Structures are given as C-alpha cells and as structure tokens.
Structure 1
C-alpha cells in the first residue's frame, strides 16, 4: 500500500489526530509542574534519580523553561494545524527524557518513554512531506498536498487544551469550588470526545451511503 493511500485513509487520519491529543496530554501535567516552579518528584537525593531531579529543580529558570517548552509543544500538537512544529519540539524534548530514563535505569519508565518515542516517530512519518523542503538542499520541489484535519478537530483541541491546562493546576481556588470545576471540565472533555467522534461517524456514514 502506498503512502498516499495510507495518508488519505479516514481511519488512519482519526488515529493520527487522537495520537496527537494523547501525546500532548502526556506533556501538560509535568510541564505545568515545572513552569510553576514545583518539584516533579519527592524522591530522596540519596538515589541517583532523586539527586538528578533535585539538581534540575535547583537550576531555577532552566527548570521553568523546560516546563514552558513542554506546554508549548503540547498546545501546538492540540491545535492540529501547527502539529508539525509541536512534533519537532516534542522530539527534541522527549529524546533527552528517553535517554535519561534509560541511563538512570528508571523502573518501567523507560518503557513508557520508548512508546512515546515510537508515537512521535509515527507523527513525523505522517507529516514527512512537509519536512522534505527543509531537508532538501538548494533545490526546488513540490510538496504533496493532503487535507488537514477539519475545523471540528481544531475546536476540540482548543477545548482539550483549556480543560487540561486548568486541571494541571492545583490549589488555585477553594477546595469545594475546585472539585466542582474539575468535575465539570472532565465532563466537558468526555462530551467533546463523544460529540466530535459521533459527528465524524455520521459524516462518514452519509458519505458511504451516497457512494452506494
């Protein structure tokens, strides 16, 4: 099967769109934690892992900068429209995290980061045609056009971003109000997921029916 058939397949497009959402979601909690200047872990500094994270935390602004980059990469992926930039940022950040989890022998964590590396490689392959002009040196080339995700997925990404960013914060409002808001946002995320997928299912069903 050619890349063009893979790229224009509706199911593959759905998988890539939600893979972007999933990868972005993985960056928000840890990114916000660093951006706010909080410790990522409470492990003892007697262990190599705890000592490493404590040293990173004590760098100050660099710790905040890492968090900011993670949040920005997540937002770019959520937008779908600027997902290529988000994927490149994600690759740069995740490559470091992946090597760290392997070199410091994180128990089980290296498996998760390895799966995330596979995900980001898949996203790069999906949009590799957009990167070819950058990789091609001093020569003109035609970039193959493929339809980008529809407006419904872009709007869904905005909703997910707002909800997940707020849920990544803690202790900013009274406990009772925070619990109520958190539940509302979780329901909003769930409703958005069901609504967007139902709309696309109906659209695909009508399209198949008209083709018969």
Structure 2
C-alpha cells in the first residue's frame, strides 16, 4: 500500500437535503430524557448544533465507529464564544475550550422546548455518506507521502474533495479540516461549517474533539471545542 493510501481514514460527510425525515440534522431542538437537564455552560443553557443518528453512522463506518451503535448524539455549545482555553502548560494543551457538551440519548425522544433566551437554529435535515478523509496539506505525514510519490499522493488527495475541489462542509470523524491546526492527543468527532440561521461572525467552523483514549472507548465526557476563524 502506498504511504498516502495508508493515511486515508473513513469518515462521514453530512450534506443538507430537502427531506424532513432525514436521520441527522443541523440545529433544531433536542430530544432529552425525562430528568435530564438542558446542558448549560456557566449556568447559561447552550445551543444545539447537531443531532446525529448513531445506527446510521455505525453502519457507514463499521471499522472505526467506537461510539454507541444505537441512539442519538446531541452536540451543544455556548454560542457567545466566551469559554476560556486551557491555561498554558495544561496537560491537554492550548487551542480549544470546554464550551461544549456531547450527549448520547435514546432515539425517538420528542423535542424538548428550549429554555428562555436560547438561540434555536432552524433545523436542516442532513444525509450522511461515506468519504475518504485525508490529512491537511501541511501535516507531516502528508509531506512525507508527497515526497515519496507526489503523483500518487495528489491523485489520492482527490478522494476527499467534491466536484468543486472542496472537502465536505460537515464531517464526522476522519482528519481535521484546518490545515494550521495541531491539537496533540485530541481527535475530531464532528466538524461543522455555519449554515443559514447561525451567526458566528468571524468563526467559520465549530468542531468537537475527544481525547484519543476517550474516542477509542466511546467516552463523551471529555469533549472539547475548537473554533476556526476566517
């Protein structure tokens, strides 16, 4: 196997579709179990960014999916972007914050009305499709692959791009999208670009990350958030 081919990781691209009965959604309201509080940060309820169907993703990514094979993943974050990054010298390093929460809940729960003052993003149905995810261009491993065989590496690089030469707007697992990002010990779980109904200012991508040991066993409590700024 060519060095570059060994770097390709299976991922799921999430695409906005017209069908309201899609398995996944961007924004909207969450289904929360009775007795589960709406997630909050600093005492303020957070905004739901995405709802993902675990069964669909487990079927798409059987060799890499370590999270529950049933139920729903809910991705919340604080939309004022005031969460502080880790202090210098912290074990998990700089560049991200804890202004988020990822919950696993049973599938099919009725939507919970949002608390007063919470921004509700107009829901957009999403479809998931399997793609090959490759490292960003400045990743050391990718530089090695281009040095070994630049033609093969460039051809394989096209696997992760659409007809317009762009990577997926929204992606589950795989490599990070930001070519300048290095978060040692963390792996991306979900990367989202802004859609209509969101107002992120200079922030163009919100992503959720897990420590590598947590992702390996499907543990969600250590989720971190990274903000890509234009």
Structures share a fold, TM > 0.5? Answer: no
Give the structure with higher Rg (CA). 1
- Of structures 1 and 2, the one with the larger relative CO (CA 8 A, separation 6+) is 2
TM-score, normalised to structure 2, is 0.25
